[in-house]
Every structure is written in structure tokens, then in C-alpha cells.
Structure 1
Amino acid sequence: MIAGVSTACLYPKPLEEALYDLSVNGVSCVELFINTHSELKKGFAHGVANLLRRFDVKCPSVHPFTCEMEPQMFFSEYERRVNDMLEYYKLYFRFMNIVGADIFVFHGGKPSSVCNTELYCERYSKLYRLGKEFGVTVAVENVSRCKSGSSAFIKEIKNMLGDEFAFVLDTKQAIRSNENPMRFLDIVGSKIAHVHISDSGEMGDCLLIGKGRFDFRKFFDKLAGYNPDCSVILELYRSGWSGISDLVSSYNILTRMTESYCGEQKL
């Protein structure tokens, strides 16, 4: 199990500057949030890879800026869009191969998408299989405004998809969907590939670690039982922290928590 921080926390700072700020402050694992098309170019990707190597930083995952287009491009009645989007997503997978990432975060369709569950699984399977050609795992993230925000929906597609399924749990998005994050873990089991984590409580659902009442001990005990090698990424909105030291402090806390799950040792 490994802890990290998303470059999305520093938005709208450019990706490479966000990566540098986190790296120079001792963060050794990051999720890269691609913000625009030009960041998918090979030259840019190699520059990011060089920065990762310079600071010995790992990158387990990539989040696409096109997530808001996924309902229209993957889950509409206009099938040609699917083929075009599959071709475009090869750019992300190529980027991931260059920087060494293997988890791709996928939001999927919204409740308003003209797409039943069977068609949803068919379209997702196409992207999942394409990712595997590049050594990438495309993992569905629970997002409150999407179909994936429902644990019942995740259970349904997990059962339908079998081996062609992976999951990213976002704890704040679960709370925004009036869902228990632990329930998602129990539903997906070993299919949990990645976590976006934050604290939560009376002050909000996207807080720095230690600022809320989230039961991290219980959560990590359960997560370790399903996937002890899972990556756990701090993902906060810019309004949720004041300075880089806040992110580093939360990262250090997460690191101590995840390091406790080595062998037989527990929190």
C-alpha cells in the first residue's frame, strides 16, 4: 500500500509546476491530472517522466480532463463517437506508458445517459480491453453526479463484467452520494485498484487528514484485506488547504498509516 497526492490539489497551477512543488517537498508518489490536450504530447510526457525520475517519484495513476465528455462520447446512441474516443484515449495510455502509470481513472456515464446497464458494460469493456493492450487498467470511479455514484449500480456492473472490471473509490464522492465508503469496498472486494481519500465530518466532506471524523483505522483495515497493494491518493479541492505544508502534513499522516500495513503489522 502506498500513499500519495494528486496534482489536482494544486489546480490551476500547471501540471509540471504542481508536480515539482509536491516532489521538492518530499511527496514520493503522485497522481497526475491531465488538464488539457497539449499535455498529452510525447515531448511533454517525457518532460514529466524526467521530473519524476529526478525526484524518484512514483506515479501510479492518471486522471483525464475529458471525464466530463465521457457521458456524451461513450454512452450516447451515436456509436461513431465511441470509436473516436477510444482512438483519443490511446493518447492517455501512451502518456501513461511514458511516465510509468498503470491506473486510469474513468468517471463514465451520468444517470441521464441514454444507456442501459448492458450497453454501459459493453462500452466500458471496449475501453478496458484497449487499456490492457497498453498495460493499463481502466478503473471506474464512484462520482456522485454519475451512474457510478450508486453502490447498487457498481454492484450490478461488477457482477456483469467479471474480470473486466476495476474500481477507484473516492471517499468524499461516496459521502456526497449518501453512501458509506465501506460499502463500496465490500461490494468490489479485490477489484479495488485505487483510492482518492480525504477526511470528512461536520466541517465538510473534503478535508485535510485529521480535520474530520473519518474512521481511517477501520477503512485501512478493510482495504488491506481486499488489496494490500492499493495506492491511496490525497485528493482535495484548492479551497480545502492553505499552503503546501498542509498537503505535505496530510501526506505524511497517510504515509504512516499505509506503512503500517506491511506484513502482519497493523495500525
Structure 2
Amino acid sequence: MTKTILGVPFFTGTAEEAVQRMLNGGLLVVPAAPALKDIGTHTAYRDALLAADLVITDSAFMVLVWNMLERDNLRRVSGLKYLRLLLRQPEVRQPGQTFWIMAGNKSANMNRNWLLSEGIEVPDEYVYNAPMYGPVIDDRELLERLEELRPAHIVVTIGGGNQERLGHYLRHRLSYVPGIHCIGAAIAFLSGDQVHIPEWADHLFLGWLFRVLDKPKLYFPRYMGATALFGLLARYRSALPPVEQPIEQNVLN
């Protein structure tokens, strides 16, 4: 149940089916257009996408362009919807079963308070504030804590481009196979750490607009840059673009 786009096998099932698959472990990534446009230059990011166990079609721009170019009916699987469904699973809600990797103290506090309001308690030792990662990720402190706690699920909430690399790093370094869910900013839309995106707006592919209206100086240039993905899709379609002037080292080096 996959469709190859830019060399990446994207899952073509539903969000519900994606959640059920990931309850058994593996790495899930949610590529956004601003990062996906760099698949030909960011080799570590590229490797993470290619090695993931499940890649979902969260990028509305990618889905719309693909369907236009290919006259296809590829469905979008929203990362926000995926997270909502994941958090309904009893095995994810149970304290001590899910480990959260956060973008910083402020985000961690807001996200944990929201989770608690939803009936999900996250013990202190199951929260990790990720540092600023460089071109090569080597986070021994995080690995040691995960090996000690051995949570069944790891939810990564840091930025796109970095979260996929970190998920790839953990998938290949841990001695067991948890579910590693790289859902980025999705929880921030629920907790108030970023602008709230209603379900109807997410369903209508308008999440990007809410972010732009909230912080235009930050997100307008980011989404304008993401339009370069159109050229990649038009040129390569299903093929993996060649590596051109790589600017990152392979995460497994």
C-alpha cells in the first residue's frame, strides 16, 4: 500500500491504518514540503525518508501537485489527524509507555499540560528536551535514557528535517524496536504552543495558511521556498532525484 514519489514509498492507506501499523513498532516520518524540496541536497534527511518503515502524505502541496501532474487521486494523510488517533490508543496513553522528545522547556511545559488535560500523564523522566543538532546526530544521553526506560513508543516533536534524522538515528541505534513517531509540530497545534489549527482547516489543506497568518515573517518565506518542490515533482515524478552538492553527512556515519 505505497506509492513512490521522488523515490520515497509513501503510504496510501488511511490515518487509522497507519496508527495500527505503528503500534507494532518502527519509524514513521511525516515529510513537509519545506524539507522535502531538499531531498536532493540533504543526504541525511534523504536517507531517513528512504529507510523509514512508514512515510505518510501529510504535505498538502505535494499531494495536490502530484494529483495534478499524474491525474491521480492520492489521498492526504494528515499528521495532525494521525497524532489525534495515536493519542486515543490505550497503550500510548498509559504512563511509562510513551517517551516524548520536545523542542525545549516552553514547548515541553505547554505540551505536557495539554496532554494532562486529555488524561495523559507524562512522568518527568519520559520527557527529553532535544539539543540543537548539527549535521551529524550523536545523542548518547538520549540513547542511554531510552535503553534504561525502554518505552514502547517515542514521539518526536522537533522541527522537520531534524526529526526525521533523529528518528533514523534512534531506529538504527536502539537495541529494540519501539514505535518512533516523528510528528513534528502537530502537538503544538493542539497545545497552544503554535497557532491552533481546527480539524476542518486541516481537512481542507489550510493548516499552512493559519501558520502564515499567525507568523507571516517566519512562515511566508518558508512556504514560498517550498514551491520549489513543484519543479522536482514535475521533473522526477516517481524517480529519486540525484544528489547535488550534499550539505549534510549521512546520519549513520
Judge same fold: TM > 0.5, yes or no.
Answer: no
Is the helix fraction higher in 1 or 2? 1
Structure 2 length-normalised TM:
0.31
Determine which structure has greater relative contact order: mean sequence separation of CA pairs < 8 Å that are 6+ residues apart, divided by chain length: 2
